[in-house]
Chains A and B, each alone.
Chain A
Amino acid sequence: MAHEVVLLDFWPSMFGMRVRVALAEKGIKYEYKEEDLRNKSPLLLKMNPIHKKIPVLIHNGKPVCESLIIVQYIDEVWNDKSPLLPSDPDQRAHARFWADFIEQKVYDTAKKIWATKGEEQEAAKKEFIETFKILEEELGEKPFFGGETFGFVDIALITFYSWFYTYETFGNFSIEAECPKIIAWAKRCMQKESVANSLPDQKKIYDFTVWMKKYFGMD
């Protein structure tokens, strides 16, 4: 087969979702392979021997790892439609900065909101809100972080939206009350088919997290 695209993924992963959104934005047909992270497939271990993690995009037999690196790869290979990154170096640098900021600041803090209690949880909530307020300021009055069109930074962030109900329920707070513009932006993104079809339902993620906490004895 001339072009073969396979995605090794795990349905609740916000990193995997980024790749799903990027592939959908570009209209790329691919084979989705669900991994059981407690029993990783030989293919995953072969394609990502260093981290043994999803997502992995396999294109014509060659693996690409790390979600934001994969999204950039998709943008560079399928460059005939729906550009995800701007063409101007200044604007590209700006987009990469904010995607990297999201990468550095969101995941670990957000995880602590559902995985910890007491003081540690409160500190995580505070940091989470601070981070999203910074993002809200960057968004400003623009419809998307990319400006008029949905792009790289939007993809980097929107997948966390599927986990918002989980964060809010375990953390006992409202993200909308703290960052209304972020929620407005998220709902705008969810109107896009590429996003709506790639993100699981928020309640499903919550149920999964409840199960995961029990299974790993995190209660």
Chain B
Amino acid sequence: MAELKLFRTWSSPFALRVVWALNLKGIQYDTIFEDLSNKSSLLLQYNPIYKKVPVLVHNGKPLVESLLILEYIDETWKQTPLLPEDPSERATARFWAKFGDDKVMLSVWNVFIKQGKDQEEAIVTAQENLGFIERQLSGKKFFNGETIGFVDLAFGWLANLLSIWEEICGVTLIDHEKFPMLSEWIQNFAGAPIIKESWPPRDKLITKNQALLEVYTSKEAPK
């Protein structure tokens, strides 16, 4: 019997990707919740280089970095494939996931931690990036087509964290008029049962992100 353990925190959007992938494929696993202010010796042993979550341990062997974990899961458990079969489509999926992590996430976060003119500029950059994603959706229900796939999981944070940041800061980044497809994708993704049942509690997320935003906003404020 394969032994599968997932080290995560209750709120990490990166760990959630792995939760979703395992749940979509119907794979059983044990969860170990970590306190990042007091990391377990097991976590440090399994991820000595980055010391982060998520870590998936399969038969004693650790996998780290959420998108790489997703690739491993997809190659090891073939049901409900996350990546397309065609190499060109696979390359495209990997490209968008990387774009999301390298550029989109930070550009969106910047909108909520900056103020004044800096914030205005941040909004322009973020919306430019979101525009690329909007066009990539081009009428599809999910980035993967009719079913949730790799790119949808990679952008999952947009379907939850974004509305929390928008609520805390009173700034709307994705409005229905400017981003109709992305708005609809958010509804479809957030509403899918497998996804919905694993969202962390919203009130806890609001409290946590409020504190986080305060810390980062004060770092950004002009001295």
A residues engaging B (CB < 8 A)? 50, 59, 62, 64-66, 69-70, 72-73, 76-77, 89-90, 92-93, 96-97, 100-101, 134
CB neighbours of A73 from chain B (8 A): 87-88, 90-91
From known contacts A50-B132, A97-B65, A100-B65, infer whether A92 and B72 are also in contact, taking CB-CB under 8 Å. Answer: yes
Of chain B, the residue at the smallest CB distance from A99 is B68
Of chain B, the residue at the smallest CB distance from A87 is B75
Of chain A, the residue at the smallest CB distance from B65 is A100
- CB of B71 within 8 A of CB of A93, answer yes
- CB of B87 within 8 A of CB of A90, answer no
- CB of A66 within 8 A of CB of B94, answer yes
- CB of A89 within 8 A of CB of B88, answer no
Bound complex: CA A140 to CA B30 (Å): 33
The answer to whether the Cβ of B99 comes within 8 Å of any Cβ in the partner chain is yes
- CB of A97 within 8 A of CB of B64, answer yes
Chosen A-B contacts, 15 in total, with CB atoms closer than 8 Å, are: A50-B132, A59-B88, A62-B88, A64-B88, A65-B95, A66-B98, A69-B95, A89-B76, A90-B61, A93-B68, A93-B71, A97-B63, A100-B65, A100-B68, A134-B49
Of chain B, the residue at the smallest CB distance from A73 is B91
Count of inter-chain pairs, beta carbons less than 8 A:
47
CB neighbours of B87 from chain A (8 A): 73, 76-77
Bound complex: CA A88 to CA B147 (Å): 27
List CB contacts (< 8 Å) of B67-114 with chain A.
Answer: 68, 71-72, 75-76, 87-88, 90-91, 94-95, 98-99
Query: In the complex, which range does the number of interface residues on chain B fall in?
Result: 10 to 19
CB neighbours of B65 from chain A (8 A): 97, 100
CB neighbours of B91 from chain A (8 A): 64, 69-70, 72-73
- CB of A72 within 8 A of CB of B94, answer yes
CB neighbours of A90 from chain B (8 A): 61
- CB of B88 within 8 A of CB of A97, answer no
CB neighbours of A72 from chain B (8 A): 90-91, 94
Q: How far is the CB of B106 from chain A (nearest CB, A)?
A: 14
Given A64-B95, A72-B90, A77-B87, 15 more A-B residue pairs with CB atoms under 8 Å apart are A59-B88, A66-B94, A70-B91, A72-B91, A73-B87, A73-B88, A76-B90, A89-B75, A92-B72, A93-B63, A96-B68, A96-B71, A97-B64, A97-B68, A100-B65
Per-position 1/0 for B40-82, Cβ under 8 A of A: 0000000001000000000001011100100110011000000
Bound complex: CA A212 to CA B147 (Å): 48
Question: Top 4 closest A-B pairs, CB basis?
Answer: A76-B87, A89-B75, A73-B91, A93-B72
Of chain A, the residue at the smallest CB distance from B92 is A64
CB neighbours of B132 from chain A (8 A): 50
Bound complex: CA A76 to CA B95 (Å): 15
CB neighbours of B68 from chain A (8 A): 93, 96-97, 100
Q: How far is the CB of B78 from chain A (nearest CB, A)?
A: 11
Q: How far is the CB of A45 from chain B (nearest CB, A)?
A: 14
From known contacts A62-B88, A69-B94, A73-B88, infer whether A92 and B64 are also in contact, taking CB-CB under 8 Å. Answer: no
Of chain B, the residue at the smallest CB distance from A60 is B88
Of chain A, the residue at the smallest CB distance from B89 is A62
Bound complex: CA A62 to CA B89 (Å): 10
Of chain A, the residue at the smallest CB distance from B72 is A93
Q: How far is the CB of A44 from chain B (nearest CB, A)?
A: 16
Bound complex: CA A96 to CA B66 (Å): 12
Q: How far is the CB of A193 from chain B (nearest CB, A)?
A: 26
